[in-house]
Amino acid sequence: MVHRETTSSLERFRKCIINNRFRSLILEKYNKYSNIFPIREGGFGEAYLRAIDKTSLKKLRAITFVNAKEILGILLCLKNRNNKIL
């Protein structure tokens, strides 16, 4: 397995996740705010967010949109299960 390490701002990472995985599901009003993240728990394509303050806003299918403050970490498992982004 290849290990690659890189850095990115939280806002840039958020936009990347939304544009590549959740664009068709995110509500336009949520897309404006940098503290609203889509998460999907369990199964293929899991996206999990750890934060000191996290409030669920709305659930659409398997995606829950959360308002998160003071983010501690993000776990993103791609669909083939061989990739994890922490």
What is the pLDDT tens value at each position of the chain, 86 positions in all? 556 666 778 888 888 878 777 777 777 888 888 898 888 877 667 788 899 999 999 988 888 899 999 988 888 776 655 555 55
Say what the pLDDT of residue 27 is: 78
Count of structural domains, the chain: 1
pTM of whole model > 0.85? no
Burial 43-82 (b: 16+ CB within 10 A, else e): eebbbebebeebeeeeeeeebbbbebeebeebebbeeeee
Residue 64 lies in a domain: yes
Residue 66 lies in a domain: yes
Residue 2 lies in a domain: no
Separation of alpha carbons 75 and 86, rounded Å: 5
Helix (H) or strand (E) holding 14: helix 10-17
